Chain A
């Protein structure tokens, strides 16, 4: 084991991890927002929009992130929209994650008894108030496990960003292997940094889940 190598390139990995995490977090926040919006559209069966939603969900879930990224990265400039690679990565993650979040929220909502909706209506809550104050808070609790699984899944998916020249963890590892042939050390650090990012999320997830159970 070449410890010198590890120590030398630790800062490089650290920066890559921060970049991965940054893109990941922003992308996931957008994914959650998209997921919530789609959930409201599906819940209230908004005409036209709900068909678009369905189409988007199928498209997003049934194509690999790498191909989605290529479309954004190479396709958008062709129609005159050019954006930075980082932005592409965020968009790609949001595009992929939006559908996963929407499906998770939907299954959470389906687990809530209709009487909750009807009691809210009976009290005079509007449709939007009902979903915001009554349905979603319960649905999110029910689907918390799935949401955390989605977050971990999406963070793992960030490993394809190297394909559009983002200097993330994967890119760093590949680069170092290419230059120095220290394959074992480079891969070990790659795995280690992904674990450093993902393990705490798993643990925090378990803790939140435990806390969110109704007393």
Chain B
């Protein structure tokens, strides 16, 4: 059997709409200190560091150069992935599977509150020659996609709103979450239109925070932790960037990333074998689309399942019990880290009032957000 990689140390900050008391350095430092303390290690014990950072989000060119001090990675092997934390996690897993590295640290950070022109920044992700001159908001991509999803009968508008109600409600039980609220479907449907059918409350609001995890080899795990969480499978995939010819109703990259992770984890029937899932819900309908892409529900069934409470905390497949992006906040490249963090807490039985009873196998899925088509998936077990 293939050797597994363990998560042996977990460190994180709260996720908040602003974080004026800390620079990005102190945020990551706080998470790193906690992670190293849990695993009983010091930076000198770490064989490699993998950070997650994107220049345009940080406002620095070559922002990877600014990652090292606050992780204790100075004068050590370190590298940075411009993607989601789950992409960095995949790199960390690969390092350990080479058997050349025993302990690897993976980090991600969001300082969304420091980005003063996020809509402009998202617009800047459009193709500069073909799309940008049209002066259309990047949220239009979410509107175009959601419209197609609804018109094809994959879900109703109300079912999409039910995702928001569920996730913001779950966040009320998560002390780390910044956007918990007790709202109704009507609140969502009556909120300001943004890019119809997407309305204001369908969109995950931005948040700051940092997550650091210590990974280690299966051999070393017992010496670092008595509550390892195992990474059984990990996968990632990207579709074409071409707006003009992408699939507008299915998240194909999520399906491919999920299948890759399932293969590695030896999962044949995801809907029976996964106990809980933290999936990307940056826009309400994406949770439904992603659940179907991950084969956790048949096409067109995730919306009804949500309405029926199957994805609620006490349902058959709890989804985004942390609150997800809608309830915790959208963390840009740190989004996937918050999902893995929630799974680790759940699989260790440390999730407090939102604990899923008997959580044994969890799935975390990330999407790089509008207007991208890149995704990554990890399968974890206790």
Asked if chains A and B come from one complex, the reply is no
B residues with CB within 8 A of A: none
